[in-house]
Amino acid sequence: MSIKEFDSNYIANTYARFPLVLKEGSGSLVKDENGKEYIDMATGIAVNTFGYSDEEWTKAVSEQLFKLQHTSNLYYSEPCAMLAKALCEKTGMKKVFFSNSGAEANECAIKVARKYAAQKKGSDYHKIITLKNSFHGRTITTLAATGQDVFHKDFLPLTDGFLYVEANNIADLEEKINTNKVAAIMFEVVQGEGGVLPLQKDFIDYIKKISFEKDIITIADEVQCGNGRTGKLYGYMNYDIMPDIVSTAKGLGGGLPIGATLLSDKTKDVFAVSDHGSTFGGNPVCCAGALNIINRLDDNLLDEVKEKSKYIINELTNSKGIKNVTGLGLMLGIETENDASEVINNCIENGVLVIKAKSKVRLLPALNIPWDLLKKAVEIIKSACC
């Protein structure tokens, strides 16, 4: 049997895979089982921040692997302490809880917000506002947080207490806050799965104002838009806001599973011993990899992200077959005249991996993609859109 046949026989039917078996990669290039090479403009959904088998990252990870691959959270270990310190120093947040995925980082954020509100205002203040068209994960609670019915059906009842506001609709948000006992507002500053849509500044300004006035916890879901992706270390840094909680994952680990929930001065001491935990959370190998990633997201690299973003947007906007380009930094969505799936398949045939977000073609290249590969990929994408 082929790998594809083994997979369809033995893997649960949850993924619509492209007909490719990926085998090995280097930087922004990856090869399939037949040796065909692709420029990777998707990085495993914004995970491989510096591409495949990046030398520095691989070294950091493998050195740690030879020392200590795991220890329970009953003991201290260096990599998670140093990663937490780096994350706090670079963001101004004060403490970190480590987990293993985006959904878990959001679960933690929701627990902190609920406990904060219960202690401060009473346990009836437990409603969490999220946005329509958002994506926050696949667990029963983060599905409830996800403001898209298509993900909910078949899994009801979900965790209670979530309210959905239309993105960028200030009146809707105001009305929901005034008529409910709200603990938190949770949002992606750039909705990823929802179609690569940045929130409008006036909407975020309003979130900032109302959450200050009413002592409502703000949770920035930076799972996809964080870790340098938008040209800032975290997506919220493109706006004048300091969230009370930041959740992140995907690109943080550079390819290894890690989730992190960053807590501000206001939320850092909400949890007490045994309020939360994770067996694998803070894994030393994952943290060593993440520390390497975080330390490399400096101003030079972020400027390069912005320059590459400008280049892609300039090249694709008004190009034949393209209606518009949305997003921030190297998190971009292309609305195409032809069906996005056809465009994507055409790109793949011509050696470029891109993925979908709703009805758009989504680009999430490695932050350090070399200019020559980026230019080549953009040309192939342009012709695939015609």
Binder among 127, 136, 229, 296 for ligand PLP (CB under 6 A): 136
**Shortest separation between residue 289's beta carbon and ligand PLP, angstroms:** 15
**Cα 248 from Cα 259, distance rounded (Å):** 6
**Shortest separation between residue 40's beta carbon and ligand PLP, angstroms:** 17
Look up residue 162 and give its two tokens: 């979530």
102 binds ligand PLP (CB under 6 A): yes
Binder among 28, 49, 99, 101 for ligand PLP (CB under 6 A): 101
Select 103 or 361, whichever has its Cβ closest to ligand PLP. Answer: 103
**Cα 261 from Cα 12, distance rounded (Å):** 29
114 binds ligand PLP (CB under 6 A): no
103 binds ligand PLP (CB under 6 A): yes
110 binds ligand PLP (CB under 6 A): no
Binder among 249, 344, 363, 384 for ligand PLP (CB under 6 A): 249
Question: Could you tell me where the DSSP H helices lie in the chain?
Answer: 3-10, 43-46, 55-67, 78-91, 102-121, 140-145, 149-152, 170-178, 201-214, 284-296, 299-316, 340-349, 371-385
- Rg of the chain in Å (alpha carbons): 21
221 binds ligand PLP (CB under 6 A): yes
Select 230 or 346, whichever has its Cβ closest to ligand PLP. Answer: 230
Asked whether the beta carbons of 322 and 335 are under 8 A apart, the reply is yes
- Which residues lie below 8 Å from residue 5, measured CB to CB, with a gap of 6+? none
Stretch that binds ligand PLP, among 13-21, 101-109, 124-132, 274-282 (CB under 6 A): 101-109
Q: Centre a 10 Å sphere on the Cβ of residue 308 and count the other Cβ atoms it contains.
A: 21
Select 220 or 381, whichever has its Cβ closest to ligand PLP. Answer: 220
**Shortest separation between residue 206's beta carbon and ligand PLP, angstroms:** 21
Question: Of the candidates 259, 257, 225, which has an alpha carbon nearest to the alpha carbon of residue 110?
Answer: 259
362 binds ligand PLP (CB under 6 A): no
192 binds ligand PLP (CB under 6 A): yes
Select 177 or 189, whichever has its Cβ closest to ligand PLP. Answer: 189
Select 322 or 328, whichever has its Cβ closest to ligand PLP. Answer: 328
Binder among 135, 187, 206, 239 for ligand PLP (CB under 6 A): 135
223 binds ligand PLP (CB under 6 A): yes
Size of the site for ligand PLP (CB under 6 A): 15
**Cα 98 from Cα 262, distance rounded (Å):** 9
Helix, strand, or coil here: 63?
Answer: helix
For residue 198, the surrounding DSSP H or E stretch is strand 197-198
- The verdict on whether omega for the bond into residue 157 sits within 30 degrees of 0, i.e. cis, is yes
54 binds ligand PLP (CB under 6 A): no
290 binds ligand PLP (CB under 6 A): no
Q: Centre a 10 Å sphere on the Cβ of residue 132 and count the other Cβ atoms it contains.
A: 16
Residues found near ligand PLP in the complex (CB under 6 A): 101-103, 106, 135-137, 188, 192-193, 221, 223-224, 249-250
